[in-house]
Structure 1
Amino acid sequence: MERLEGVEGLEGVGSGFAATRDGIDTMLRDRGLRRTSPELTAESLLRGAHASAVLAGSSSTIDEVRAGKADALAQAALRVSVELLGLVPVFARTPLQALARVHALAAAGSVPDDEVGRPRDADSAFRLREVAGLLDSGRPALVTAALVHAELLTTAPFGSADGLVARAAERLVLVSSGLDAKSLVVPEAGHLALRRAYESNLRGFAHGGRAGIRAWLVYCTEAYAAGAEASPLRDR
């Protein structure tokens, strides 16, 4: 993808992500010395589903999500979270198939059946293939996750539930890369904590040229650090 060539070398991007990666590694190592459990992973996924749903417009609280009383958006995000880690092997082999499944989960019941899991037109299908190409770029995992997220959200290839898909794909990158194999960081909560910056930097990514892309990447260094702070490991 020509517009993204070399963006990992923009001023402040490499050093910012290196510092964030060090912080995440330290948290996972130090707090993960005590045995982690599937319950911690499930809690991280639940927190992420709630945050992603709120960013998409849900008004449900996390307590309502826990109690099974969430609105439709939060229920969609939960459907995604339940299957997400099972899609990691598929994402590693055939990422477009995994993204189609994520969209099917996120959009079920809200769009016609023949639109579920399908790009909205030929241009969108091309954009999805370009996103899949980002996974083989050799960039650091955090940079790749940030770019995949922004490309999916700003190009809206499915035309529905694209925010839920984009944030799920971000987490899939972090897990499949091995950076956060047990999915204990909550990047969605980081974005929610910085919501105004999240939304403004996404607009900059879409329309602000190289400066906008750089601003988005620098923002993501902060968001991922905040996502690490939101990990259930911090509760231990």
Structure 2
Amino acid sequence: MPGTTLLVMSDSPGDVFEPLAGLEGVGSAARAARDAVDVLLRDRGLRKVGSDMTAEALLRGAHASAALAGSPSTLEEVRRGAGDALAVGAVRMTAELMSLAPRADTAPVQVWTRLHQLAAVDLGSDDQLGHLRTSREPLPDDIPGLPPAPPADEMWERLSGLARTLTLPTKAPALVVAAIVHAELAVLRPFPTANGLVARAAEHCLLVARGIDPVAVTVPEAGHLELAGSYAQGLRDYAGRGLVGVRDWLLRSCEVVTLAAERSPLNNSAAQGK
């Protein structure tokens, strides 16, 4: 399994993510996705971004992530605060995303558990909030279409390895790192509930923290929703097809980031002459 490969690599002193960035087609796709964000931001720093644009992008992302998790709430319902539990939890997460992003590299487990605390308030009991599952608990099954989650001991080992790698330097593009973290969290499902919401928010945190979109005006969750037909299959391939599956997930993630730039509210503002 690719998670096992990542874990083994993380025990060595070398760069864990760089070889994955070197898989066929990934480097050029990551550069193209970065270019799409640069165009949106007018070559970085040349375009003013107000807090209203960031808030709108995060709201759209919360709605898209909840919809991918099965929420029936519309964007307007979410905007009014009238969404279902999944949507409300996603909004609660994105409200803290910018404050959590600076710790996404230095204290990743704490960030992931905090995201779960925010996402799952209305999805389970209080003692489950931010709680990493143990072997005494049933395996979570909250991301449709995935194979069974690994046992708790394997989950803990792989999660620890993933967290370690994030604190080490890498030459890999930030997009690659964020995409791997998303896939690992989704496949491992470390929490009793809301694993998909947490995985997508963790990816978004890293895209902010590692400079792809430091002002959070792209909407990666909307990209995942737009490509929803390949979401579960992409994660199944990541979990079961070795480096081929990892490569395909990374290529899909590059497409997601390109779509994230296209779906930014900045584009709406430009169209309206703002």
Deviations 1:105-145 (A, max 9, x none): 11113222222112102523333222223423512100001
The aligned residue for residue 132 of structure 1 is 163
Q: Does 2:236 correspond to 1:234?
A: no
Deviations 1:16-63 (A, max 9, x none): 111111221122125963421000000010000000000111001101
Q: Does 2:106 correspond to 1:93?
A: yes
Q: Counterparts in 2 of 1:16-27, with a 5 A limit?
A: 16-27=29-40
- Percent of counterpart pairs with the same letter? 50
The aligned residue for residue 217 of structure 2 is 184
Q: Distance in 2 between matches of 1:209 and 1:23?
A: 29
What is the deviation of 1:2? 5.6
Q: Counterparts in 2 of 1:105-124, with a 5 A limit?
A: 105-121=118-134, 123=153, 124=155
Q: Distance in 1 between matches of 2:264 and 2:45?
A: 11
1:3 to 5, 28, 32: 5
What is the deviation of 1:188? 0.3
2:79 to 66, 73, 77: 66
Asked if the contact 2:85–2:123 (Cα under 8 Å) also holds between the matched residues in 1, the reply is no
Higher RCO structure, 1 or 2 (CA under 8 Å, sep 6+)? 2
Consecutive unaligned residues of structure 1, counting only runs of 5 or more, are none
Q: Distance in 1 between matches of 2:106 and 2:249?
A: 28
Divergent runs of 4+, >4 A: none
Q: Distance in 2 between matches of 1:137 and 1:34?
A: 29
Of residues 115-124 and 52-61 in structure 1, the stretch that sits farther from structure 2 once superposed is: 115-124
Q: Counterparts in 2 of 1:28-177, with a 5 A limit?
A: 28-29=41-42, 33-121=46-134, 123=153, 124-135=155-166, 136=168, 138=170, 139-177=172-210
Aligned-partner SS, 1:118? coil
AA at the equivalent of 1:106 = A
The aligned residue for residue 12 of structure 1 is 25
Q: 1:182 to 1:30 in 2, by over 3 A?
A: same
The aligned residue for residue 138 of structure 2 is none
Q: Distance in 1 between matches of 2:117 and 2:73?
A: 22
AA at the equivalent of 1:3 = T
Deviations 1:70-100 (A, max 9, x none): 1111011011011111112333431111111
The aligned residue for residue 216 of structure 1 is 249
Q: Distance in 1 between matches of 2:53 and 2:45?
A: 11
Q: Distance in 2 between matches of 1:31 and 1:144?
A: 21
Q: Distance in 2 between matches of 1:201 and 1:89?
A: 28
Q: Distance in 2 between matches of 1:57 and 1:170?
A: 19
- TM-score scaled by length of structure 2: 0.81
Aligned-partner SS, 1:119? coil
Q: Does 2:237 correspond to 1:204?
A: yes
Q: Distance in 1 between matches of 2:248 and 2:50?
A: 36
Asked if the contact 1:202–1:216 (Cα under 8 Å) also holds between the matched residues in 2, the reply is yes
What is the deviation of 1:169? 0.4
Q: Distance in 1 between matches of 2:102 and 2:247?
A: 31
- TM-score scaled by length of structure 1: 0.94
